[in-house]
């Protein structure tokens, strides 16, 4: 049967440049006539579409089902041989990465704006992943962007829409369409990585004194958490909440941090739950949080690396190397040093880990932005991190029959070995771009003239002094393909080893978001009391000094950050 390929005339739209994680805009922007179509055609123009296999999935947010049909229309007209689509247009970002790898697809189109709110007045996003399962590298996203600037027409085949709610084999025009169960392959993957029997027996034995709670924040991970925690580990329904994906995330902001995951925090505190966790809209972020116990993402990845041997995947394959993004605390560096492993510092963005993993030099990595993962796929993986923690806790408790070891015990022990990198991030969301740029320019000026070097700054409230030792703009040369990424954040270091980083967010959809990251290391000799202080106490002086040096409040015209993590 032959199908009629139609060319539809269009004109370029401004600003279709993919950011840190694909193109993210308000839904209303994507709904403009030809807007979404232009971007999708530009993706197919930038890859070898003819004969390709393309995975389609996403977090199920508002405008996803329509966009899946648009991709089928344009993709089939561009020669895609087969589409593998998550049922109801749902595949978490890590699950999609797994599907691309497992079924050797050419790439995948993920419909997600991650942790940004969803719904008709909120955000939508389109992200392209390549055949290793990871986000497209900059040379491809740049190519897509170039195409969007000159596009004159896009191709479509008009066929009846595919019913996305039925698993099975279908066709769209000349292309095959396979609708798959969103969860199955992912559960198989995790079962190969972790010690499920050990986790189950620990959870069974501690049903009363170690109840756990996972909060899906109405995002995509709900069905994955149900399949694992309820169906595999046999936990009661009370172990999960907000686990039915909703197109607008129940009206919430599906970001697992102390501010936005308040439903988790409140239930944990109210019911005295020792272990809780949440994941974001598309399932790649995570937060581990128990009663009076918060694990910073920087500590989380370091602790997973420290205990890697308890996880069958690493016990079998070994740990090849460790890595973190630049603003992430240096806790993991200390683990690497102790274990004699390579440790990499890459720019913010998971895509920077991909080459190192493909080259067999990296096994475990993480970012302060609530991302933790490993080389089992090429995306960070929220549920993986939660199960990693459960695996570690189960293993540690196997060796401690008389005392139940929980989150705080693991933190305390870790700090007693390595010391603690106190870490916090202040976010100033949706401030004016002019103010944000002026802030950056001012630091760049100091960098150029050296005017801040060796200056001494005193915290008004504590009298603690900090001397600036260096200022630089972080730049990265990829050790594998030697590509260079410049201007990845401004770093101010102090003579006591503390540091402050300023960076503009690459994931916002409106205005500018400034992030300030502060880190101060305290050695193990300080003792448990100092080491277990709240981060806000341990960092008070440094935060004051950072705000003072950068004149942040003046430039941004705001007094307080919108989020503190
Ligand atoms: C996404 C990426 C992460 C990255 C984060 C940074 O979540 O997947 O790898 O760390 O964005 O976001 P930002 O808003 O700070 O640019
Ligand atoms: Zn995400």
Residues 382 and 453 in one domain: no
In the numeric block, the tokens 């069958």 are attached to: 312
- The number of domains in the chain is 3
**Backbone dihedral angles phi then psi of residue 172, each to the nearest 5 degrees:** -135, 115
Biggest distance spanned by C-alpha atoms of the chain: 80
Residue 65: pLDDT band (50, 70, 90) is: very high
Which ligand is the nearest neighbour of the Cα of 254?
2
Residue 450: pLDDT band (50, 70, 90) is: confident
Please compute the mean of the pLDDT values over residues 6-29 and round it to a whole number: 93
460 against 45, higher pLDDT? 45
Q: What's the pLDDT at 509?
A: 61
Last residue of a domain, one of 367, 395, 418: 418
Is 245:222 a contact under the CB 8 Å cutoff?
yes
Q: Measured in angstroms, how far is the CA atom of residue 281 from the centroid of ligand 2?
A: 6
Q: Measured in angstroms, how far is the CA atom of residue 507 from the centroid of ligand 2?
A: 10
What is the C-alpha to C-alpha distance for residues 277 and 266, in angstroms, rounded to an integer?
12
Using the predicted structure, report yes or no on whether residue 508 has a pLDDT greater than 80.
no
Residues 465 and 407 in one domain: no
Residues 201 and 125 in one domain: no
Q: What's the pLDDT at 559?
A: 86
Task: Supply the CATH number for residue 459's domain.
Answer: 3.30.310.50
Ligand 1, residue 507: give the atom nearest the CA.
14
Q: Is 349 in the pocket of ligand 1 (CB under 6 A)?
A: yes
Residues 100 and 226 in one domain: no
Q: Measured in angstroms, how far is the CA atom of residue 283 from the centroid of ligand 2?
A: 6
Q: Is 253 in the pocket of ligand 1 (CB under 6 A)?
A: no
Using the predicted structure, report yes or no on whether residue 261 has a pLDDT greater than 90.
yes
Q: Is 348 in the pocket of ligand 1 (CB under 6 A)?
A: yes
Greatest mean pLDDT among 75-84, 453-462, 467-476, 511-520 lies in 75-84
Is 472:491 a contact under the CB 8 Å cutoff?
yes
Q: Measured in angstroms, how far is the CA atom of residue 123 from the centroid of ligand 2?
A: 13
Is 324:301 a contact under the CB 8 Å cutoff?
yes
Residues 503 and 403 in one domain: no
Which ligand is the nearest neighbour of the Cα of 115?
2
Give the residue whose CA is nearest to atom 4 of ligand 1: 349
Residues 144 and 220 in one domain: no
DSSP tag of 278: E
What is the C-alpha to C-alpha distance for residues 378 and 392, in angstroms, rounded to an integer?
22
Q: Measured in angstroms, how far is the CA atom of residue 79 from the centroid of ligand 2?
A: 30
Which ligand is the nearest neighbour of the Cα of 509?
1
Q: What's the pLDDT at 138?
A: 85
Task: Supply the CATH number for residue 27's domain.
Answer: 3.40.120.10
What is the C-alpha to C-alpha distance for residues 531 and 522, in angstroms, rounded to an integer?
7
Residues 312 and 412 in one domain: yes
For 365, the domain range is: 186-418
pLDDT tens-place string over residues 163-184:
999 999 999 999 999 999 999 9
Q: What's the pLDDT at 511?
A: 78
Mutate to test the pocket of ligand 1, among 350, 370, 501, 561 (most ligand atoms within 8 A of CB): 350
What is the C-alpha to C-alpha distance for residues 382 and 372, in angstroms, rounded to an integer?
7
Residue 411: pLDDT band (50, 70, 90) is: very high
- Secondary-structure percent of the chain, ordered helix, strand, coil, rounded to 5: 40, 25, 35
Q: Is 94 in the pocket of ligand 1 (CB under 6 A)?
A: no
Last residue of a domain, one of 368, 395, 418: 418
Give the residue whose CA is nearest to atom 2 of ligand 1: 349
Please compute the mean of the pLDDT values over residues 435-444 and round it to a whole number: 90
Residues 535 and 509 in one domain: yes
Residues 266 and 375 in one domain: yes
Last residue of a domain, one of 159, 181, 203: 181
Tell me, what's the ipTM? Answer: 0.96
Residues 355 and 443 in one domain: no
pLDDT tens-place string over residues 310-356:
999 999 999 999 999 999 999 999 999 999 999 999 999 998 999 99
pLDDT tens-place string over residues 221-260:
999 999 999 999 999 999 999 999 999 999 999 999 988 9
Q: What's the pLDDT at 373?
A: 98
Q: Is 565 in the pocket of ligand 1 (CB under 6 A)?
A: no
Q: Measured in angstroms, how far is the CA atom of residue 357 from the centroid of ligand 1?
A: 19
Q: Which residues are catalytic?
A: 114
pLDDT averaged over every residue in the chain: 95
Q: What's the pLDDT at 78?
A: 98
Least confident of 288-297, 469-478, 502-511: 502-511
Q: What's the pLDDT at 305?
A: 98
Residues 102 and 26 in one domain: yes
pLDDT tens-place string over residues 367-391:
999 999 999 999 999 999 999 999 9
Which ligand is the nearest neighbour of the Cα of 323?
1
Q: What token pair was written down for 141?
A: 């996203």
Give the residue whose CA is nearest to atom 3 of ligand 1: 349
171: how many CB neighbours lie within 10 A of its CB? 15
pLDDT tens-place string over residues 462-502:
888 999 999 999 999 999 999 999 989 999 999 888 999 99
Q: Is 347 in the pocket of ligand 1 (CB under 6 A)?
A: no
Q: Is 350 in the pocket of ligand 1 (CB under 6 A)?
A: yes
What is the C-alpha to C-alpha distance for residues 303 and 406, in angstroms, rounded to an integer?
13
Going by C-alpha positions, the residue among 233, 165, 242 that lies closest to residue 195 is: 233
Residues 351 and 256 in one domain: yes
């Amino acid at each position: 049967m032959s199908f009629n390929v139609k060319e539809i005339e269009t004109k370029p739209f401004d600003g279709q440049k993919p950011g840190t994680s694909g193109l993210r805009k308000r839904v209303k922007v994507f709904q403009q006539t030809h807007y979404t179509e232009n971007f999708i055609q530009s993706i197919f123009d930038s890859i070898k579409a003819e004969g390709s296999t393309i995975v389609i999935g996403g977090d199920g947010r508002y405008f996803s089902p329509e966009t899946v049909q648009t991709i089928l229309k344009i993709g089939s007209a561009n020669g895609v041989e087969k589409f593998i689509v998550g049922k109801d247009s749902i595949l978490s970002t890590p699950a999609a990465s797994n599907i691309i790898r497992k079924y050797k697809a050419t790439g995948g189109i993920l419909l997600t704006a991650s942790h940004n709110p969803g719904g008709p007045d909120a955000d939508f996003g389109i992200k392209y992943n390549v055949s290793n399962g990871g986000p497209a590298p900059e040379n491809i996203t740049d190519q897509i962007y170039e195409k969007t600037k000159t596009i004159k027409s896009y191709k479509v085949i008009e066929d009846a829409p595919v019913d996305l709610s039925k698993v099975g084999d279908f066709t769209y025009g000349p292309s095959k369409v396979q609708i798959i169960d969103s969860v199955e392959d992912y559960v198989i993957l995790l079962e190969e990585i972790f010690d499920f029997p050990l986790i189950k027996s620990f959870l069974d034995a501690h049903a009363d004194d170690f109840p756990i709670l996972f909060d899906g924040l109405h995002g995509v991970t709900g069905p994955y958490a149900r399949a694992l925690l309820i169906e595999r580990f046999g936990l009661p329904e009370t172990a999960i909440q907000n686990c039915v994906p909703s197109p607008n995330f129940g009206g919430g902001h599906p970001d697992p941090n102390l501010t936005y995951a308040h439903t988790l925090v409140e239930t944990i505190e109210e019911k005295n739950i020792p272990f809780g966790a949440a994941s974001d809209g598309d399932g790649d972020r995570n937060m581990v949080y128990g009663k009076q116990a918060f694990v910073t993402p920087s500590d989380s990845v370091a602790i997973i690396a420290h205990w890697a041997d308890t996880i069958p995947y690493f016990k079998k394959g070994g740990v090849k190397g460790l890595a973190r993004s630049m603003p992430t605390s240096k806790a993991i560096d200390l683990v690497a040093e102790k274990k004699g492993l390579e440790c990499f510092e890459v720019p913010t963005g998971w895509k920077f880990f991909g080459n190192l993993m493909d080259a067999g030099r990296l096994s475990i990595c993480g970012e302060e932005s609530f991302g933790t993962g490993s080389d089992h796929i090429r995306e960070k993986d929220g549920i993986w991190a939660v199960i990693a923690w459960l695996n570690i806790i189960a293993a540690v408790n196997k060796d401690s029959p008389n005392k139940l070891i929980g989150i705080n015990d693991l933190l305390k022990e870790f700090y007693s070995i390595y010391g603690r990198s106190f870490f916090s991030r202040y976010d100033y969301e949706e401030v004016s771009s002019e103010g944000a740029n002026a802030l950056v320019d001012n630091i760049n000026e100091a960098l150029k003239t050296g005017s801040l070097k060796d200056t001494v700054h005193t915290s008004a409230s504590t009298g603690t002094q900090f001397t600036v030792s260096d200022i630089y703009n972080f730049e990265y040369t990829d050790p594998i393909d030697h590509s260079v990424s410049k201007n990845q954040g401004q770093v101010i270091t102090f003579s006591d080893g503390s540091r402050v980083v300023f960076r503009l967010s690459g994931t916002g959809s409106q205005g500018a978001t400034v992030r300030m990251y502060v880190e101060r290391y305290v050695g193990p000799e300080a003792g448990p009391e100092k080491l277990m202080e709240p981060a806000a106490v341990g960092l008070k002086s440094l935060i004051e000094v950072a705000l003072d040096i950068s004149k942040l409040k003046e430039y941004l015209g705001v007094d307080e950050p919108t989020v503190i993590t």
